[in-house]
Chains A and B, each alone.
Chain A
Amino acid sequence: MSSILLVDDHAVLRAGLRLLLESQPDMVVVGEAEDARTAITQATTLQPDLILLDLSLTNSSGLAAIQSLRAAAPQARILVLTMHDDEGYVRQALAAGAHGYVLKRAADAELIAAIRAVLRGELYIHPALTRRLLEDILPQPQPTNPWESLSEREREVLVLVARGYTAAEIASQLNLSPKTVETYRTRGMEKLGLRSRAALVQFALDHNLLAPT
Chain B
Amino acid sequence: MNTVHGQHWLRRWAAVIWQVIGAVNIRAKILGIVLGLVVLIGVAATIEVRLLLEQTLTNQAYEHSVAVARDMAARATDLTLMRDYYGLFRLLRDTQANNPDLRYAFVIDSEGTIIAHTFGTGFPVGLRDANTVTANEHHRSVLLTTDEGDIWDIAVPIFDGRAGIARVGLSLATREQTVAAVTGQLLITTIMAAAVGITAAALLTWILTRPILQLVELTKAVASGDFSRRAQRWANDEIGKLTDAFNAMSEALAQAERERAEREQMRAQYVTQIITAQEEERKRIARELHDSTSQALTSLLIGLRSLADRHHSPELRRQVDDLRGIVGQVLHDLHALARQLRPSVLDDLGLAAAIQRYVADCRARSGLTIDLAMPDLTDERLDPALETALYRIVQEALTNVIRHAHATTASVVIERRNGHLRAIIEDNGCGFDPASLSGDGHLGLNGIRERAALLNGQLIIESAPGSGTTLYVEFPLPATNEERHEQHSVGR
Contact = CB atoms under 8 A, between A and B. Distances in A.
A16 B335 contact: no
A105 to B, nearest CB: 4
A84 interface: yes
B302 A107 contact: yes
B301 interface: yes
B304 interface: yes
A187 interface: no
Contacts of B462: 166-168, 178
Interface in B282-307: 290-291, 294-296, 298-306
B345 A105 contact: no
Contact of A195 (B345, B348, B371): B371
Q: Chain A interface residue count: which class?
A: 35 or more
A105 B295 CA distance: 9
Contact of B345 (A13, A86, A108, A205): A86
A164 B471 CA distance: 11
A25 B406 CA distance: 58
B413 interface: yes
Given A88-B353, A164-B415, A108 B302 contact: yes
A163 B472 CA distance: 12
Interface string B356-391: 110010000000011111010000000000000000
B459 to A, nearest CB: 11
Interface string A23-62: 1000000000000000000000000000000001000010
B246 to A, nearest CB: 36
B107 interface: no
Contacts of A205: 373, 375
A168 B463 CA distance: 11
B349 interface: yes
Given A20-B302, A105-B332, A197-B413, A83 B290 contact: yes
B456 interface: no
Contacts, number: 142
A23 B310 contact: yes
A198 B372 contact: yes
Given A13-B302, A56-B291, A198 B373 contact: yes
A127 to B, nearest CB: 15
A132 interface: yes
Contacts of B373: 197-199, 201-202, 205
A66 B313 CA distance: 41
Contacts of B294: 83, 104
Nearest to B302: A16
Contact of A105 (B306, B331, B349, B353): B331
Interface string A165-178: 01110000000001
A196 B468 CA distance: 11
Given A108-B301, A198-B412, A23 B309 contact: yes
B291 to A, nearest CB: 6
B141 interface: no
B415 A195 contact: no
B348 A104 contact: no
9 contacts: A16-B298, A19-B306, A56-B291, A83-B295, A108-B305, A164-B413, A196-B409, A198-B372, A198-B413
